[in-house]
Amino acid sequence: MSMKNLLFIPLMLVALSCGKPSEHSGHEHDGDANGDNPNQALYDQVMSIHDEVMPKMEDLYKVKKELEDKIANTPNMVAEEKAKLEKRIARVDSISNLMMDWMHGFNPLPDSADQELAREYLETELEKVKKVKEAMLEALQNN
């Protein structure tokens, strides 16, 4: 099995795990009189950004591979150019890790929890996932 396949398999497993329905969205709601969770719209906004950005993880992998190939296929590359490409690879890795860390840390409170605490948590997570999105789009645009 090639190194490319070894790196691609974990990435795809993460992508597939992101497709699982959320525990949060399937709960019975005990919020207001019509049964709606007052934080559902905020949760949906967080997940919408995640769902928009997650497919770009593969694009980041491709960018990294292209940069690595460029270094590998240019044995006489000037040290400054190689350092520049290595810095870009490190940035791509950093952004990939940022996304993975956010996904692994995202754990919304159950619908039965204090709604104010749940709202605060989701607002914080919304800001985090927005930063992930911005970093990812910037890295892809600057390639």
| 14-68 pLDDT, tens digit each | 444 454 444 444 433 344 444 567 899 999 999 999 999 999 999 999 999 999 9
Domain boundaries, position 68: 3-141
The amino acid that residue 131 corresponds to is K
Residue 31 has a pLDDT of: 41
Return the sign of the alpha-carbon dihedral for residues 43, 48, 49, 51: positive
Identify the residue with better confidence: 122 or 27: 122
Residue 128 has a pLDDT of: 97
Residue 36 has a pLDDT of: 66
Contact 62, 89 (CB under 8 A): no
How far is Cα 99 from Cα 136, in angstroms, rounded to an integer? 9
Q: b vs e for 82-119, b when ≥16 Cβ sit within 10 Å of the residue's Cβ? A: eeebeebbebbeebbebbeebbeebebbebeeebeebe
Is the pLDDT confidence value at 2 over 80?
A: no
Residue 135 has a pLDDT of: 95
Q: How confident is the model at residue 142 (pLDDT cuts 50, 70, 90)?
A: confident
- What's the structural domain count of the chain? 1
